[in-house]
Amino acid sequence: MSTIPILYEDGEALVIDKPAGLPIDRPRAGGRSLDDQLEELKLGFQRAPMAVHRLDTDTSGCLLLARNPKALKRFNKAFEDRQVEKVYLGILAGTVAEDEGEIALSLSKISSKEEGWRMIAAKKGKPSLTRWRKLVEKDGMTLIEFWPETGRTHQIRIHALAGLGAPLLGDPVYGEGPKGGAGGAPRTMLHASALTVHRDGKSAITATSPMPADFLRLGFVDPGQIPADLPEPGPSGV
């Protein structure tokens, strides 16, 4: 029995509900990681599952695992061919005037001894695209639904800051970091809420993750409870 919730399971795939604070890879300084959970995530299979993609340590929600090397290869190709659709929820530390839109930026990685590395918008960077819509504003914060069309490192985090003009609440790299008190956040407030992986000859892998408790504590509700008169997103493939 896994201590991590299983959102989807079949013979070649698992989608787990990754908790915030659990890194995918073992930190250089040591400490717990997803590796410590892989034995219990065998769930009767001989092989331990393997993470197909990455979520930042702070990011919670849908994470796809492959149960064998052939499945891993097929799922990697699905990501490369944009046969994967992802939906994220993020809380901005600020408000935006528009209701929906697209953010298209070229992104590059920079590094300094003082601040470490981060992504920036730069003309010579790699192209990135995220579609978004505003769900609700509350106490100077905004709940946004994001559909990343590309999968660049820190894409949603830098798109929030450079594209929407406000960082994700709690982001220690692009914002002010976790803060206590009203409006504070224990982490970067980003949640992978839904995942769809299309497969040739098989039904798609589909999973949804409920809104996490730290989002709810800030007074936001699950989008499923938000009135349905919001505009529907168009087709997407990541």
Q: Identify the residue with better confidence: 222 or 113.
A: 222
Binned at pLDDT 50, 70 and 90, residue 228 comes out as: very low
> Which pLDDT value is given to residue 225?
60
Binned at pLDDT 50, 70 and 90, residue 122 comes out as: confident
**Angle at the Cα of 106 from the Cα atoms of 198 and 135, rounded to 5 degrees:** 60
- What is the C-alpha separation between 29 and 25, in angstroms, rounded? 11
- 48-57, 177-186, 196-205: which has the minimum mean pLDDT? 177-186
Percent with pLDDT over 90 in the chain: 75
pLDDT at 46 over 50: yes
Question: Are the C-beta atoms of residues 157 and 190 closer than 8 Å to each other?
Answer: yes
> Which pLDDT value is given to residue 232?
44
Query: Would you please indicate which residues are annotated as catalytic (active-site) residues?
Result: 56
- What is the C-alpha separation between 194 and 61, in angstroms, rounded? 8
SS3 12: coil
- What is the C-alpha separation between 60 and 190, in angstroms, rounded? 7
- What is the C-alpha separation between 105 and 217, in angstroms, rounded? 32
- Extents of the domains making up the chain: 6-219
- Condensed to tens digits (0 to 9), the pLDDT of residues 143-180 reads 999 999 999 999 999 999 999 999 999 999 999 888 75
Percent with pLDDT over 70 in the chain: 90
pLDDT at 112 over 90: no
CATH architecture of the domain covering 6-219? 2-Layer Sandwich (3.30)
Give pTM, 2 decimals.
0.90
> Which pLDDT value is given to residue 236?
36
> Which pLDDT value is given to residue 235?
37
pLDDT at 229 over 50: no
What DSSP element (H or E) covers 161?
helix 155-164
Phi, psi of 193 (to 5 degrees): -90, -25
In the chain, the amino acid numbered 139 is D
> Which pLDDT value is given to residue 120?
83
Q: What's the token pair of residue 176?
A: 């002010």
